[in-house]
Amino acid sequence: MSHAVVVESLVVTEAVVNYLAPTSARPRSYTYDPPANEPRTNIRNVEVEVPIRDARPIVGEISLDRQGFELVRHRSAVHDFYNDDEVKRVYYPEAERLLEAATGASRVFVFDHVTRQRVPGGGAEEREGRRQPVTRVHVDHTARSGPQRVRDLLTDEADELLRGRVQIVNVWRPIKGPLLDAPLAVCDAGSVEPNDLIPSDLVYPHRVGETYSVTYRPSHRWFYFPNMRTDEALLLKCYDSKEDGRARFAPHTAFVDPKTPPGAPPRESIELRALVFHSA
């Protein structure tokens, strides 16, 4: 049976995701209170109902280089993911080893992490002082900002490192499981056209980052792994310097799963972001 036939036979959840609405202005969001008379963001979303397929039956056929994401088994020794010191001391080295094994990298450098706790009743990215799941389709880095992260973080080594292949890969996992609320959906990078990815400014107090917002295309293929456990991690590619046909950017978003049972605990998750290097 062909891969296409197998994919079409997967269980489908019809759910709404938020794409970038058509705009002539460059999308922009502030990470802090903006200047007077400036909106926090000029991004406007359009809701689109899409089929999101349960990828568990084909987990062995999905990989970072083909679709841009991959589910792996990984049990962490971290006791408290809300303890930043413990995360940096224990989880960062774990993630580096995990990514080296998964990608064959010569070096991995974890550069930050975010914990998220959904507060019911609000869709804002931050509510009651907590980072919320991001409920719009996006990619964390772009063809420009990926290399720039290397220059910003590893300045003295950047020129040499950028001669080889560079990836940015997120490691995403639930803090409590099984995760039933606000799961993460990922779009097969092979179904995304370059002009679907719209460079967007993310304004910090002392720098401007660049991410991709994403416009809708009916051919986009969406997947998720329902009921993720705490001993599972989703590897998510947000940049790849290789332009040889392999996946480079995997759009993703949290979404409201209509199959979530009433009273399910609100989502708690952590994501690490890592630079993944391969020797030239």
Tokens 């990922």 found at: 186
pLDDT in tens, 227-239: 999 999 999 999 9
Map residue 151 onto helix, strand or coil: helix
Average pLDDT over residues 174-194: 97
More confident residue, 192 or 9: 192
- Neighbour-count burial of 266, counting CB atoms closer than 10 A to its CB (0-12 exposed, 13-18 middle, 19+ buried): middle
Q: What pLDDT is recorded for position 174? A: 98
d(CA 35, CA 235): 36
| pTM beyond 0.75, yes or no | yes
Distances (CA, A) of 78 to 88, 98, 109, 170: 10, 15, 19, 18
What's the CATH code, domain 3-278? 2.60.120
pLDDT in tens, 240-263: 999 999 999 999 999 999 999 999
Read off the pLDDT band of 123 (50, 70, 90): low
Question: Is pLDDT above 60 for 144?
Answer: yes
What residues does each domain of the chain span?
3-278
Tokens 């590897």 found at: 235
Question: Is pLDDT above 60 for 128?
Answer: no
**Maximum CA extent, the chain:** 59
The answer to whether the CB of 86 falls within 8 A of the CB of 78 is: yes
Question: Is pLDDT above 80 for 129?
Answer: no
Question: Is pLDDT above 70 for 152?
Answer: yes
The answer to whether the CB of 257 falls within 8 A of the CB of 225 is: no
Q: What pLDDT is recorded for position 1? A: 46
Q: What pLDDT is recorded for position 9? A: 86
Q: Compute the residue count for the chain.
A: 280
